[in-house]
Amino acid sequence: MIKNFEELFEKAKSQEKMVLAVAAANDENVLKAICEASNRGLITPLLVGDEEKIRKVAKDIDANIEDYEIVNELSLEDIAMTSVKLVNEGKADFLMKGMIDTAILLKAVLNKEYGLRTNSQLSHVMVYDVKNYHKLLYLTDGGMNITPDFEAKVKITQNAIEVVKAMGNEIVKVAGIAAKEKVNEKMIATVHARKLQDMSQNGDFGEGVIVEGPLALDIAVSKEAAKIKGFKSEMAGDTDVLLVPTIEVGNGIGKTLTYLADASSAGVIMGAKVPVVLVSRADSFEAKLNSIALGSVIAANN
């Protein structure tokens, strides 16, 4: 089981090197992270976009990309299409967003003819290395699905489980987060969480997966909180995945971990044939590098 990002880098470096297709690679911060990941032996970059712009950015940041393959495309739509096709053709193992609108890239990912669609649903999975937590903490979905219904939450849960298993966890503990531990028909998050727990108990999420809910956040991450409340839980203080009810909850928890708890992070979009590394421009260089390593390990596990 990978317990921190240092171990994640070691895993990515030890496995077969994955090829990363970067859509619109003329992004200074993304290109820096790609070059660092390549220099560390984590990936083989495949850059897609306006070659003149890519080379100019590389020159501006003093990055050596002479050994990188560059596929010259000018329009953002063509860049997105070509990047996705490279994955479908087996020339790349996973995908990363550069200087391109998320909507344009995901439209290509979901294209019925050449895209990377599956029967699942696209969802965002964040991974946090929090200093006062004993292992990596996974969070979903604070980035894509606004108010997912129950069917969507089933797929979001499955996507998160795939990430955690790719990171080497034999047992995956998923906490269905809500404001309280009792089911209340007026609080749909509690209803959904309990239904997901029932599915888990029926074996619907596979062997080695425990889904419990509804759980308040304090119980999910603190054995002491559960003890004080007199609440018995299989995962109190040992949760792997925080499954949040809405995007606002996930966004709030994630940014709190980043900006107030000084947590390191990584993130990918799951639900397509391969992981998609989609980072915010506000994300640190470290977060971008971590996300590339994460995507590489997941892609190798596909």
Residue 218 CB partners (closer than 8 Å, separation 6+): 225
Q: What is the pLDDT of residues 214-269, one digit of tens each?
A: 999 999 999 999 999 999 998 999 999 999 999 999 999 999 999 999 999 999 99
Compute the distance between CA of residue 12 and CA of residue 138 in angstroms, rounded to an integer.
18
Give the model's pLDDT for residue 281.
75
Q: How confident is the model at residue 44 (pLDDT cuts 50, 70, 90)?
A: very high
Rg (CA), the chain: 19
Give the model's pLDDT for residue 282.
76
> C-alpha distances in angstroms, 207 versus 160, 172, 201, 211?
15, 9, 10, 12
Q: What is the pLDDT of residues 69-89, one digit of tens each?
A: 999 999 999 999 999 999 999
Compute the distance between CA of residue 167 and CA of residue 2 in angstroms, rounded to an integer.
6
For 43-112, give the DSSP string. EEEEEEE-HHHHHHHHHHTT---TTSEEEE--SHHHHHHHHHHHHHTTS-SEEEE-SS-HHHHHHHHT-T
Residue 273 CB partners (closer than 8 Å, separation 6+): 87, 88, 116, 117, 118, 302
Per DSSP bridges, beta strands 43-49 and 241-243 are unpaired
- E strands along the chain, which residues? 18-23, 43-49, 69-72, 94-97, 123-129, 137-140, 172-177, 209-215, 241-243, 264-270, 276-277
Per DSSP bridges, beta strands 241-243 and 137-140 are parallel
Domains present along the chain, CATH in parentheses = 5-117+272-301 (3.40.50.10950), 123-259 (3.40.718.10)
CB burial string 109-146: b at 16+ within 10 A, e below: bebeeebbeeebbbbbbbbbbbeebebbbbbbbbbbbe
Q: What is the pLDDT of residues 103-153, one digit of tens each?
A: 999 999 999 999 999 999 999 999 999 999 999 999 999 999 999 999 999
- How much of the chain, in percent, has pLDDT values that exceed 90? 96
Give me 102's structure tokens: 């998320």
- pLDDT greater than 90 at residue 284: no
